[in-house]
Structure 1
Amino acid sequence: MRSVTKFGALLLALCLSMPALAMSLDEAKKQLDSAKQQGLVGETPSGYLAVVKAGDKAGEIVEAINEARRQEYSRIASKHGIPVAEVEVVAGKKAVEKTPAGQFVRVGDKWIRK
């Protein structure tokens, strides 16, 4: 029961913190949206971005966004006394679910266009 409560708290915290995370990354988000639309970058179930195909600073964008995500996931995990890995899994699931049609997500070891 306790883990269900922690999971619910984690999910709520993640939902509430994602807009703040997005606001702090406005500049990088513009580049990220473009890279996603071009099929250069995609979401993974790990909670992080990955390069689908190299080009147009895709690696730099992925590194910058992933570093910000790592920091936010760590903050959420510390706040709720749970492992960062749990936050990453929930965030990865949400990111893959929210990925718009036409963009890439990682399923297993393959990229698929949603």
Structure 2
Amino acid sequence: MKQLTQLSAILLAMVLAIPALAMELDEAKDKLESVKQQGLVGETPTGYLDVVRATGEAREVVEAINQARRNEYTRIAEKHAIPVTQVETVAGKKAIDITPSGQFVLIEGQWVKK
């Protein structure tokens, strides 16, 4: 029983520490252009970022930015009473269209350098 209590305390401490390990949105925004230019991260038709090459902080940047995008897409969808997938699709097309030359976009399941 004592071991179970100790294990529970350790698990609780780990769960509470996880948000502290996640990258903050402001930090992710600051790093976004750099990881895109390095070819680590690209835009997808779903309106979200994805990792092209899992190096450095690419995954953490993607997770932080995508969470913010998900929240914003949901807000917009609710405001206009439309499915969130519709907002995601429009945002994905727009993001791909404005992606600068030399950065990656996902086209038909393949990463393509624009």
Q: TM-score, normalised by structure 1?
A: 0.76
What CA distance in whole angstroms lies between the structure 2 residues aligned with 1:33 and 1:42? 10
Aligned residues with identical type, % of pairs: 66
Find the counterpart in structure 2 of residue 59 from structure 1: 59
Deviations 1:77-106 (A, max 9, x none): 000000000000000000000000000000
Alignment RMSD, CA only?
0.9
**Distance across 1 between alignment mates of 2:109 and 2:79:** 32
Q: Once the 2 structures are TM-superposed, how far is the Cα of residue 27 of structure 1 from its aligned partner?
A: 3.5
5+ long unaligned stretches in structure 2: 1-24
Q: Partners in 1 of 2:30 and 2:37 — Cα distance?
A: 11
Paired residue total: 90
CA contact (8 A) 2:77 2:87 kept: yes
Q: In 1, are the aligned partners of 2:35 and 2:58 still within 8 Å (CA)?
A: yes
Output the TM-score relative to the length of structure 2: 0.76
Larger radius of gyration: 2
Give the whole-Å Cα distance in 1 for the aligned partners of 2:44 and 2:81.
24
Equivalent position SS for 1:39: coil
How many angstroms apart in 1 are the aligned matches of 2:49 and 2:63? 8
